[in-house]
Amino acid sequence: MLSSTLSLLALAGAASAQVRGFNYGALYADNRARQLADWEADFRAAQDLPGVGGFNSARLFTMIQGYSNNEIISALPAAVSTNTSLLLGIWCSGGEEAFSNELTALRNAITQFGDQLKPIGLSIGSEDLYRISPTGIENESGPGAQPDQLVNYIQRAREVLQGTAWADVQIGHVDTWTAYVNGSNNAVIEALDWVGVDAYPYFQTVNENSIENAPQLFFDALQATEGAAQGKPVWVTETGWPVTGPASGLAVSGTEDA
């Protein structure tokens, strides 16, 4: 998800200390790239949300500034200036050249911000396994990445972190619960420090997914992921309920349910 998103980030592992925040794409919905001033404004807006105590964390999907080859995403200096903690991300569904550019941006980010930022973690990929699944293909979700490819990417990212200020940053992967319970993806789980799950009952149209049943579907997905996680901590990296858009099964969008 390189474009704009406002799904919730709600990490609940010991290392994440009940982190709450939003997921942010490198681009807005109109395909404008978020610039430094945009990131700062978005982060401050999240911190000033009334009634929730403020959200001071953010998850990124890429290390690369929008429409550049490998320039560091300007969310990093914005995080420094706004005291926002980051769950960093590397996009893994763009092929080898794109991934190499992600690693270049990661190296440069460590050099430039290693002493100013301590990331919550680093996610290698986002829903890459879902997108190559029958459901992902049916939904025309776009290109993904094979399990062995992701394992290779995870290993290479670890090598970049070794011996740096971010050497102890924990590495994970983000995907749907259905990807994790698929045994053909076990090698990816084995390579991780933590497992990130995206859980959206709204889109589970094969189930009774009314708002009344949404909590049960959410916790079922979380429990299934925990059962497949090989004892590793599970972080809820995306969840939420759309405020606009078409109905999805029994689920209806709107601010009341959201």
pLDDT at 8: 65
Q: How many other CB atoms sit within 10 Å of the CB of residue 115?
A: 9
pLDDT confidence bin for 16, thresholds 50/70/90: very low
Residue 15, pLDDT above cutoff 50: no
| pLDDT (0 to 100) of residue 258 | 83
Closest by CA position to 201, among listed 217, 179, 220:
217
Q: Vertex 25, ends 59 and 123: CA angle to 5°? A: 40
Higher pLDDT, 256 or 8: 256
Residue with tokens 């109109």: 30
Can you read off the two tokens belonging to residue 69? 């080859």
Q: Is the pLDDT of residue 122 over 50?
A: yes
Mean pLDDT computed over 21-30: 96
Give the span between the Cα atoms of 138 and 134, in whole angstroms: 6
pTM to 2 decimal places: 0.94
Phi-psi region of 54 (alpha: psi -120 to 50; beta: other; left: phi over 0): left
Domain ranges within the chain, ordered by starting residue: 8-239
Q: For the chain, where are the E strands, in sequence order?
A: 8-10, 20-24, 57-60, 85-90, 121-126, 171-176, 194-198, 234-239
Does 113 score more than 90 pLDDT? yes
Q: pLDDT of 181-235, one tens digit each? A: 999 999 999 999 999 999 999 999 999 999 999 999 999 999 999 999 999 999 9
Catalytic residue positions?
A: 127, 238
pLDDT of res. 18: 74
C-alpha 157/C-alpha 104 separation (Å) is: 10
* Domain over 8-239 is classified CATH 3.20.20.80: yes
Confidence of residue 2 (pLDDT cuts 50, 70, 90): very low
